[in-house]
Amino acid sequence: MPNYRRDYSGCTWFFTVVTKQRRRLFLDEHARACLREAVWICRAQYPFHIDAWVILPDHLHCVWTLPEGDRDYSRRWGIIKRRFTQLFGGQCRYALPFWQERFWAHRIDGDSDYRHHMDYVHINPVKHGLVNCVSAWPWSTFHQFVKSAYYPDDWGGNIDIPNGIGKE
């Protein structure tokens, strides 16, 4: 019987992380600031490269590349969630816990998969009807990619959303 061993060390990963009961925590600037700080604290101890990120009201998507020889993304998410809870927990109107227990992780497999997930991260605010063009959503790495010419400013087009009503 073959022994199928997977070595995911140093790989690039796509994640979806959702708030508990889909609470719209990240409409609050303080919540977004606490999340930024939690990520910064985690990266200081357990480095990783953020390839792409988008924060939506009740969830986030991101693409990370871990250092060679490291595959412990679960520890990183545990630290981020715990630090966010400590930073945000005492100063909000929401009941604990803030996060769903699990998250979605997908190992990026090649250039095409990478591009697909980068596009998915950045188009998500339009997909959920939060804005009608990608560049209108401020909490995304999309703007950095426009500056580096990875995307044109008008990437994702401009769709008509009646009265700005979301599809969530």
CATH number at residue 20: 3.30.70.1290
pTM: 0.87
**Higher confidence at residue 95 or residue 14?**
14
Is 2 within the bounds of a domain? no
* Residue-range definition of the domain harbouring residue 111: 12-158
Is 76 within the bounds of a domain? yes
pLDDT of residue 10: 72
Structure tokens at 1: 């019987």
Q: Using one digit for the tens of pLDDT, what is the confidence trace for 15-53? A: 999 999 999 999 999 999 999 999 999 999 999 999 999
Residue with tokens 């600031």: 33
Whether the upstream peptide bond of residue 97 has omega within 30° of 0, thus cis, is: yes
Is 33 within the bounds of a domain? yes
When divided into structural domains, the chain yields a total of: 1
| pLDDT at position 56 over 60 | yes
Is 164 within the bounds of a domain? no
Is 167 within the bounds of a domain? no
Is 63 within the bounds of a domain? yes
| pLDDT at position 5 over 60 | no
| pLDDT at position 6 over 90 | no
Is 1 within the bounds of a domain? no
Is 166 within the bounds of a domain? no
Would the CA dihedral through 28, 30, 34, 35 be positive or negative?
positive
Rounded alpha-carbon distances, angstroms, from residue 141 to 61, 63, 85, 105: 11, 11, 23, 19
